[in-house]
Chains A and B, each alone.
Chain A
Amino acid sequence: MNAPQLTRISTLLQNQEEAILSEWIRAQLGPGVFRSAVPPQSELHEQSKTLLRALRDALRQASSTDITSPEWESVRENLADVSRSQAREGSSPTETATAVLSLKQPLFGRLIDDCKDHPEEISREIRGASELLDKLGLYTMEVHQKGREQLIVRQQEEMQELSTPVVELWRGILALPLIGTLDSQRTQVVMENLLEKIAQTGAPIAIIDITGVPTVDTLVAQHLLKTISAARLMGADCIISGIRPQIAQTIVHLGVALGDVITKATLADAFAIALKRAGLSVTDNRTA
């Protein structure tokens, strides 16, 4: 069934496909559409052609102009492809949307011609077509935005995985070098990694090194304490190392209570304590 108000466009697309296509491509290549990177003409031709076909088929089959309905699936996919490929070429989302919207030029001229005998229908037809094309233009924007968001989420995940290694310094001594600010989400990952490693290695001591943590405010301290409490529940003691002078001052000024947690200035000092607890000692073999 045809979308009731868009029968004319559907027919136009069917009968004058070639003419509309070439005019649309000319409009896209014209001034004011692609400023940064103009895609190669052959590619543009191919893209526009498939998109126009999909649009034509959708208009013929679809019962409404709701582009989220399943009948519009192929149009949505085409638009998404166009949006993604043009984003890769370096086009801004505005440019992509404008390219889609420039289909209005060839279409509206023809619609007016087509409605010559029924002037009362012109405004209705134009409004319908305009609304539809606006939706399609906005959809390309949305795809662009979603692509960006996915990229950010993926990078965030990668960063989180990279930034929380748990290393075994010695049998039964774990170290957790923290780099970057601790937010609650990262604390969760850090905690899980540390506890898994404790369960796996059976280590009774873990050193949390905060040399790479830029600032320690009350929230970060709270997150550290949480991690330490959780490790203690599994029978492992924690030592905090890598406290820089400024950080020590901040901790005291903020009145952060680290409780009875052992703290050391350097990882080396913390490691020495851990070795001592484990009943091990390091000797210097050079001196006789």
Chain B
Amino acid sequence: MAELLGTFEQAVLLAVLRLGADAYGRAILNRVHESLQRSVSAGSVYTTLDRLEARGLVFSKLAEGTPTRGGRARRYYNVAVAGMRALSNTHRTLTTMWGGVKLPLQVNP
């Protein structure tokens, strides 16, 4: 069965995808914040990234730190093939689900 992603997981994966080579923790967090248009906690983004990595949907590599980071390394993320597939499956499922529904939804009094 195709893997479906939750809204937050989609937002994080899409942020990684859009940021490309610049996808590290805080940049991903800021992009997720922009796309969801609500405040997002750092803990929830990093936890989601860990979970996605454990499921093989993203992979990461360490890069050298800079003086502003106190020399601490940066972890850059990339979307794995399984992650692309999961995003595509989720998009296809949602599109099928919403197919034929006229927007905006009319609420009958």
* A-B interaction: no
Report B's interface with A, CB cutoff 8 A. none
